[in-house]
Amino acid sequence: MTIALVHGVPETSAVWDLLVDELVALGHDEPLRLSPPGFGAPVPDGWAATVHDYEAWLVGELEAIGRPVDLVGHDWGGGHVLNVAMARPDLVRSWAADTVGVLDEDYEWEDLAQQWQTPGLGEEVIAAMTAQPAEERAAFLAAGGMHPVIAERIAPRIDETMGACILRLYRSAAQPVMAERGKSLEAAAARPGLAILPTEDRGVGTAEQTRRTAARAGAPVEVLAGLGHWWMTEDPRRAASLLSSFWSSVP
């Protein structure tokens, strides 16, 4: 089996470091890390950074691998994973995501996302973030629950290019875009899926929304009690065990 991990915003593939160590300790081959353009990876010329562009990018990455993978997505990486699971299930053996609730018809973007989606205000918020010293950005991420060591690895990579991609991506996903995409959730049931529900993550839909959308996608819900948005850095051993058990159940 081939494991592929896709991270989100504002992150780099370092967000997976602790989880990868635990997965390898359980006997898995080291996972592939697929970094979306602008988030620890170069941005192609003319890159528009829309929801559709990132879906097409991930399809291309998976086609290049050449065999179905066990695909795991976090934050916007989860959004990219779900879009591929709905559009090209032939590219995955299984999928797992912690953002299934975002595709619920009643989902409303969190406050920071709505700021990014607002012309003028979004530019001001991003400019303030990228102008901070890396140490302050790391402290902000750690205060939000990210493991401090991982925050220190990611913070220096948050730059103007990443900020521009954040604005374009979120604006391309303003409602009703995600609700419209969610209408295809049943297609994701073509491959075994898993909805990850950290109880302290307040930005990716309510528990009810996650359960509702997961049911439509034919995916069980695994609750990570007490963990937040960066669950894979908070308790990587528990996260690795959860994923490993899921993969073992896939025919």
Place of tokens 């205060």: 143
Predicted pLDDT of residue 48 = 98
Residues of the chain with pLDDT under 50: none
What's the length of the chain? Answer: 251
The CA distance from 86 to 188, in Å, is 4
Please name the helix (run of DSSP H) or strand (run of DSSP E) that holds residue 33, with its range, or none: strand 32-34
Give per-residue pLDDT as tens, 45-58: 999 999 999 999 99
CA 249 to chain centre: 22
The residues, ordered by sequence, that sit 6+ positions from 166 with a Cβ below 8 Å of its Cβ are 9, 10, 38, 116, 126
3-state secondary structure of 249: helix
CB-side neighbour CA atoms (13 Å) of 164: 11
Which residue is it, tokens 């635990």? Answer: 22
Alpha helices (H) in 29-159, listed in sequence order: 51-65, 76-87, 111-116, 121-131, 134-143, 148-154
CATH architecture of the domain 3-107+178-249 equals 3-Layer(aba) Sandwich (3.40)
CB 150 within 8 A of CB 7: no
Q: What are the structure tokens assigned to 79, written together?
A: 């959004």
> What's the pLDDT at 97?
98
